Amino acid sequence: MFKKSGAMNILKQPFVNPKMMGDMIRQHIRAALYQEKESTKADIVQRTGISFPTISKLLDEMKDTGEVLLVGLGTSSGGRKPSTYRLNPAYMTGLAVCLEKDSSSYLVLNYEGEIIGRKKLPGVLHSGPELLTEQIGTLMSLYPNPRVLTLGVPGAVNNGCAFHIPGYDRFKDFNFKAFYEEQFSLRVQVENDMNATVIGYYDRIGNDDSLSLVYLYLGKNGPGAGIIVNGNVVRGRTFFSGEVSYVPLSGTQNFVQLLDNAFATQDIKESRSMLVDAISRLVAVFTATINPHTIIFCDSEITNNDLGQIRNKSASFVPEENLPDLVVSDWQQDYFHGLHQMTIRSLLVEQ
């Protein structure tokens, strides 16, 4: 079940007075309607703090363009019942795409954020942009008014360009954003898969601006991490943040080399012990650098028993009282929720 707390990000934007630009006020109206589904003008005024005449004027304009629908009458404490409004679900749609090693997964969202279509298609990362373009074009032709495309990719991304995507040379330095904005005339946003995942987890737990989180995934494409510090995704100076494979942890070996050694070990117990050791060292590094509140692991990779061992081992590297909470979560659910939230937020501001 997708939460709607992401809309609060728009409602939290600084607002000075009702004379601000019309598009900003419309964003507040959209966010209020998205969060509550159906609202009266008075409800929106209360939620946004914008004057009734301004809300009334712009809401009527949005109704005339078909963006919002007049759906009925609300309750009244006396006098005439107020009209209630909602976003028009058919006004526009958004497409969220998760690119993985063996498959490409698609979500189609209507203007209210509801999932109106799902599709799992063959992977494109080894095939190249031609197959991806074909898949996107096919999905877009099936739904009305596509306006936003969100792509999650297993690599480092700078302004829509995948400049570091190991193992997938067909997409090396491929500018997803520029290419698909020109190809399909819509708004395109591209995000590293782990950044999208930590965004999804963060939204599901309530968007607390004081939290710092690290989401670690060992994955099919090699390890990666999504990092949020004080409510903000950390991408770094060159958008390389989270590429934990390269973190040196033991002698001349980095994190991915320690993982490779663990996975190559035939003895299951020894292999697990080596895996716990490698992860514990990385937990210690994060503890001593950004000191997060929580480190999240994929529940298909790490067990609750592993968490206890990781915590004990990490405590041999840093004082235990400084260690973060260690939890497991559903990586796929968090990843898709992150892409979902990114898509609907873009729809709410895209006009």
CA 300 and chain centroid, separation:
20
Q: Report the amino acid identity of residue 245.
A: S
pLDDT at 21: 65
* Measured distance CA(58)–CA(146) in Å, rounded: 24
Q: Where are the domains of the chain?
A: 18-72+82-87, 93-196+334-348, 206-330
pLDDT at 317: 97
* Measured distance CA(314)–CA(323) in Å, rounded: 8
Question: Which of 3.30.420.40, 3.90.1150.10, 3.30.460.10, 3.40.190.10 would CATH assign to domain 93-196+334-348?
Answer: 3.30.420.40
Provide the CATH number for the domain formed by 206-330 in this structure: 3.30.420.40
Please give the structure tokens belonging to residue 225.
């991490």
Q: Let me know: does 159 contact 181? Beta carbons within 8 Å.
A: no
pLDDT at 1: 44
Phi and psi, residue 165, nearest 5°: -140, 75
Same fold? 93-196+334-348, 206-330:
yes
pLDDT at 27: 92
Q: Give the global pTM.
A: 0.89
Provide the CATH number for the domain formed by 18-72+82-87 in this structure: 1.10.10.10
Using the structure block, give the residue that is written with the tokens 């031609």.
130
Nearest residue to 145 via CA among 225, 192, 91, 97: 91
pLDDT in tens, the chain (351 residues): 445 655 656 555 555 544 456 888 899 999 999 988 899 999 999 999 999 999 999 999 999 999 999 987 766 565 567 889 999 999 999 999 999 999 999 999 999 999 999 999 999 999 999 999 999 999 999 998 999 999 999 999 999 999 999 999 999 999 999 999 999 999 999 999 999 999 999 999 988 889 999 999 998 888 999 999 999 999 999 999 999 999 999 989 999 999 999 999 999 999 999 999 999 999 999 999 999 999 999 999 999 999 999 999 999 999 999 999 999 999 999 999 999 999 999 999 865
Q: Report the amino acid identity of residue 171.
A: F
Q: Which residues, at least 6 apart from 8, have a Cβ–Cβ distance to it below 8 Å?
A: 31, 35, 207
pLDDT at 262: 96
Burial of 224: CB neighbours in 10 Å, binned 0-12, 13-18, 19+:
buried
